[in-house]
């Protein structure tokens, strides 16, 4: 599942169109049928319906933890450079999930460079003249996937605008880059994901079997993260509105037929167990996937079909009417509206 292994936590997301870029042609007009649904629809009305566009259903009961983008900064670097954290918070203040989708789409679909995409976003969204000014060399780490690379360049560009000599360094997975960030020897800043890093540090500080402390509430999760960060030598800025989390999608035709935009509404409309769920092989065992949908929303499923983790196979299965609902990622570049 990307470079951040997870089926982990979304904040409640508004329904978002997913345009079928690079996911193959859509199937027929759909396997669902009948009149417009609404509450207590069942049977054929809840069967998969093919379509080119997908809608992410709002996680209105916060099944997923809050994985908002948040700046992670080496404590010594933040102390030595008082303008550092405010510059990162300026990014958090401006960045939204819709913008994150567009940034990913610009690189993955439109084939623009991450550097150019980041620079354009900073120019349009950050007031450089309002930034506190600092100085000195700062290295921003970025993991080797599109979103992290773009965010690292966004951070570096804003730091440059704030007077720092900022650079971007590609690093490996969290097990490798977090020690480097904590030591401050190679990188001093990293674009992190709130709940994922909270639980990583929770296990590091309190042991592999530590009780989870992250939740679907960003501020509650920040409160849990802060003491953990202090113990390892990190400080975190403000979380942005932008989040990259698990989300569940249906085709727009399916959502329109039933009149649903949230997972709760889907449960009300399709409570008879007729839905077909698509996702990665581990979904039936993971608490934030099938078991979570069943326990949090009361959803039941006629069948689970094994595809991938928010990837082209799951999206194609939705588009072609093979599954009713499937796991996607909330900041997937294919979610950009066409």
Total number of domains constituting the chain: 2
Structural domain of 74: 69-236
The pLDDT, as a whole number, for residue 45 is 76
CATH code for position 112: 3.10.105.10
Are residues 108 and 147 part of one domain? Answer: yes
Using the 3D structure, point to which of 206, 236, 266 is the last residue of a domain: 236
In angstroms, the CA 26 to CA 11 distance is: 29
Residues 231 and 90 both lie in one domain: yes
Residue 73 sits in the same domain as residue 167: yes
CB-side neighbour CA atoms (13 Å) of 205: 20
Q: Please check whether residue 216 lies inside any domain of the structure.
A: yes
Four-residue CA torsion sign, 308, 301, 56, 69: negative
As averages over each run of 10 residues, the pLDDT of the chain (338 residues) reads 40 38 30 40 78 90 95 98 98 96 94 98 97 98 95 98 97 92 97 97 97 95 98 98 94 94 96 91 94 96 94 93 95 71
Whole-structure pTM value: 0.82
Does 5 fall in a domain? no
CB 78 within 8 A of CB 233: no
- Indicate if 220 and 93 belong to the same structural domain: yes
pLDDT at residue number 211:
97
Does residue 42 share a domain with residue 98? no
Q: How far is CA 264 from CA 101, 127, 260, in A?
A: 24, 40, 9
261 occurs within a structural domain: yes
Res 90: pLDDT: 98
Rounded Cα distance, 118 and 152, in Å: 9
Same domain, 146 and 260: no
From 236, 271, 299, the end of a domain falls on 236
- The answer to whether position 105 is within a domain reads yes
């Amino acid at each position: 599942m990307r470079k951040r292994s997870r089926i982990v936590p979304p904040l409640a997301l508004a329904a978002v169109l997913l345009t079928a870029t690079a996911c193959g042609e859509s199937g027929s007009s759909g396997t669902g049928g009948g009149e417009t649904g609404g509450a207590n629809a069942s049977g054929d009305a809840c069967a998969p319906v093919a379509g080119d566009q997908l809608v992410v259903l709002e996680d209105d009961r916060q099944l997923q933890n809050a994985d908002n983008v948040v700046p992670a900064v080496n404590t010594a670097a933040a102390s030595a450079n008082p303008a550092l954290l405010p510059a990162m918070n300026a990014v958090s203040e401006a960045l939204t999930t819709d913008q994150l989708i567009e940034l990913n789409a610009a690189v993955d679909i439109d084939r623009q460079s991450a550097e150019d995409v980041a620079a354009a976003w900073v120019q349009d969204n950050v007031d450089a003249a309002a930034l506190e000014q600092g100085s000195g060399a700062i290295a921003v780490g970025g993991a080797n996937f599109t979103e992290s690379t773009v965010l690292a360049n966004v951070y570096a560009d804003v730091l440059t605008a704030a007077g720092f000599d900022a650079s971007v360094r590609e690093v490996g997975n969290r097990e490798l880059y977090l020690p480097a960030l904590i030591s401050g020897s190679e990188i001093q800043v990293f674009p992190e994901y709130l709940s994922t890093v909270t639980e990583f540090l929770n296990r590091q500080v309190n042991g592999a079997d530590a009780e989870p402390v992250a939740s679907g509430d960003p501020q509650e999760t920040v409160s849990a993260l802060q003491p953990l960060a202090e113990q390892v030598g990190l400080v975190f800025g403000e979380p942005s509105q932008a989040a990259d989390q698990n989300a569940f999608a249906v085709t727009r035709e399916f959502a329109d037929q039933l009149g649903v935009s949230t997972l709760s509404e889907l449960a009300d409309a399709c409570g008879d167990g007729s839905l077909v769920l698509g996702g990665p092989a581990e979904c039936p065992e993971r608490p934030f996937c099938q078991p979570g949908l069943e326990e949090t929303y009361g959803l039941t499923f006629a069948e689970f079909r094994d595809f991938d983790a928010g990837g082209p196979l799951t999206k194609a299965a939705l588009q072609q009417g093979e599954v009713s609902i499937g796991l996607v990622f909330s900041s997937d570049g294919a979610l950009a509206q066409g």
